[in-house]
Amino acid sequence: MTVSFLRLATIFAAVVLLAACAVREPRPEGAWLNERDAWFADHPNWQVSGRLALSDGERGGQMAFDWRAEGDQHEVQLRTVATGKRWRLLFNESSALLEGSDIGLVRGPDPDILVAEVVGWPIPVSQLVYWLRGLEGPAGERVRFAADGTMAEIVAPPWVLEYQRFSQPPQGPLMPTRIQASSPPHQVRAVMRDWRWPDPGP
């Protein structure tokens, strides 16, 4: 009975390993980005939820977020875990608007500056538009790939981004579910869940 059980356990482990390999098989580096560019060109509307862990080396904080994109228009809901303070960030490539009960409404050309000044943490929002989806930004980034062709690291001074975990959602390509961006002494860790591509409707 023990031998049979061990044999079955070995077979099951081998099947799981083969299935994992099928998802993350070695691929050319360019194939990864080319396929993602094509997918998001066909699916410009997307949503994801998650949490941010923030640190400056001495203090830290956590925030929940809900991100919704409709083409180049982005809406990000932010909520501090400790106090429940909330903000709503709307932005595109040329302008940003941030509102909350404690600040009213503020505008500016750069979402990163608004978030740093109002929320109190430097978060590379304009780059996360690309990084959350496993895409390189528009200019000036150095990319390192893993053996299976997925993104492993992006260097975009002053930030260095590390991809730590991917998962396969019910729909769509393999998606990042854990990343870490560092710009010493600041660090931003993001855990993403529930990737969605809503129907744009008629």
Domain extent, residue 176, equals 27-193
Q: Going edge to edge, which strands form the sheet with 73-80?
A: 104-108, 96-100, 86-91, 73-80, 60-70, 45-55, 186-196, 175-183, 159-167, 151-156, 142-145
Say if 132 falls within a structural domain: yes
Q: Does residue 198 fall inside a structural domain?
A: no
CB 46 within 8 A of CB 199: no
Compute the 3-state secondary structure of the chain and give helix, strand, coil in percent, each to the nearest 5: 25, 40, 35
- In-domain check, residue 98: yes
Residue 21 lies in a domain: no
In a domain, residue 169? The reply is: yes
197 touches 153 (CB < 8 A): no
Quickly list DSSP for 93-108. SS-EEEEETTTEEEEE
Domains: count for the chain: 1
Residue 163 inside a domain? The answer is yes
User: Would residue 165 count as lying in a domain?
Assistant: yes
Q: What is the CATH number of the domain that holds 183?
A: 2.50.20.10
* pLDDT tens for the chain, residues 1 to 202: 444 444 544 444 443 333 333 345 566 766 788 888 999 999 999 999 999 999 998 899 999 999 999 999 999 999 998 888 999 999 999 999 999 877 889 999 999 999 999 888 899 999 999 999 999 988 778 999 998 888 999 999 999 999 999 999 888 889 999 999 999 999 999 999 999 998 654 4
Q: Hey, what are 10's tokens?
A: 């070995």
Residue 4 inside a domain? The answer is no
